[in-house]
Amino acid sequence: MSSVTAASPPTRAGRPKSREKEADIRRAATDLFLAHGLKGTSMDAVAQAAGVSKQTVYSHFGSKEDLFAAVIEGKVTAYRLSGQESPSGQGLRDELEMIGERFVELLFDDEVTAMFRVVIGESITHPQIARLFHAAGPERTIEALARRLADHAKAGELHLESERDAAVTFLNLLRGEFHMRRLMNLCPRVPERQRRDHVRACVSQFLRLFGTPAKRLSNPRN
C-alpha cells in the first residue's frame, strides 16, 4: 500500500509577504537613519537589520535616497496629511481644525522630531539631504493643503491670491513657538487640551486673514 504524503498548505500570493518585507525595510531604515544619519547608513546595514538581502532592499527601493524619501513620506501619510484622504462634506473650520490637529500631532512625533534634528545636523555638509527631506515631507504637506484650500476658494469661502502661500501661512501659524522649542527639547510634551486650543486659535487667525466675511465670524468653539 503506497503511502500518501500530506499536501503542503497552499502558499499565499507573494504580495502580502512583499509588503511585510517592505515594512521591515522601512522600520530598519528609520532606526538606522535616526541613529547614523543618511550618510552614515548603508544599504548593507539596512538589509542586515531588516533580515533580508541587499538585492531585496534594492528591489523595493531603487536607492538609499529613495528609501529615505519613502520613510519621510510614510510619516506624512500615516498622519493623513498627504491629501489621499481628503475629507468631503466637512465645513471649512472643521476641516482646518482636523488638519491642524493632525499636523501638530506630527510635529510632536518623537521620530519626526529626531529626523528633523538629523537633517539639520547633516544639511550643512550635505545639503541634498535637506532637499530630499523637504520634498518628501514639508513640501508634500504644503501641496496637499494648497489643493484643499483651492477647493474652498472655488466654493467662495476663502479669498486667496496664492493657495500655496496661504497653506504655508497656516502651517507656520500651527508651528508657532512649539516646533522650535520641541526641536531644542524645551517642551517635550504639551497637554492635549493646550494643543487643541492652539489649533483653534490658529484656525480663527487664518480665517481672519483669508476667509470671506461669513467665514471669519463662523462658529468658533468655546
Q: How far apart are CA 81 and CA 86, in angstroms?
A: 9
pLDDT value at residue 33: 93
Lowest mean pLDDT among 9-13, 181-185, 189-193: 9-13
Q: What is the pLDDT of residues 25-49, one digit of tens each?
A: 999 999 999 999 888 999 999 999 9
Q: How far apart are CA 132 and CA 153, in angstroms?
A: 30
pLDDT value at residue 50: 96
Other CB atoms within 10 Å distance of the CB of residue 33: 25
Tell me the domain boundaries of the chain.
Answer: 16-62, 73-216
Q: How far apart are CA 42 and CA 146, in angstroms?
A: 36
Confidence of residue 221 (pLDDT cuts 50, 70, 90): low
Fold of 73-216: Tetracycline Repressor; domain 2 (1.10.357)
Q: Which of 77-81, 96-100, 188-192 tops mean pLDDT?
A: 96-100
Q: How far apart are CA 162 and CA 146, in angstroms?
A: 9
Q: How far apart are CA 174 and CA 198, in angstroms?
A: 7
pLDDT at 10 over 90: no
Q: Please, are residues 96 and 173 in contact by the beta-carbon 8 Å criterion?
A: no
pLDDT at 189 over 60: yes
List the grid coordinates of 60: 523595493
User: What architecture is domain 16-62?
Assistant: Orthogonal Bundle (1.10)
Q: How far apart are CA 25 and CA 52, in angstroms?
A: 8
Global pTM value: 0.79
pLDDT value at residue 212: 87
